[in-house]
A = this chain, B = another copy of it.
Amino acid sequence: MIEALSEAERVEALEGLPDWDHDEARDAITRNFAFKDFSEAFAFMTRVALLAEKADHHPEWSNVYNRVDILLTTHDAGGLSERDVDMAQAIDALVD
């Protein structure tokens, strides 16, 4: 059973994820991405899908043309966990 981060742990984790915002209502983290076009956006989504399947930890996400919005939370933990932080770091590594 994975546990949700404490507030102190969350604050520290978010300091290392400056491009992600905390969604208090969901206890989730979100990041919005913009690409040149749909092809680039979906290529990114495919890479995220491979990361997600490998980690068995899947995003809530949406896409409109060149934009991709990602929300990460851990349903089993009832909020943000280390798994979300790890996934956010892996996603950041694809684009930064």
* Interface stretch of the complex, out of A4-12, A16-24, A46-54, A83-91: A46-54
A32 interface residue per 8 A CB criterion: no
Contact call B65/A38, Cβ cutoff below 8 A: no
Question: Which bracket fits the contact residues of A?
Answer: 10 to 19
**Which chain B residues border A49 with CB–CB below 8 Å?**
38, 42
**Which chain B residues border A64 with CB–CB below 8 Å?**
58, 60
Contact call A62/B65, Cβ cutoff below 8 A: no
**Which chain B residues border A63 with CB–CB below 8 Å?**
59-62
Q: Can you identify 10 A-B contacts, CB atoms within 8 angstroms?
A: A38-B49, A38-B52, A42-B46, A42-B49, A42-B53, A45-B45, A46-B46, A58-B64, A58-B65, A62-B62
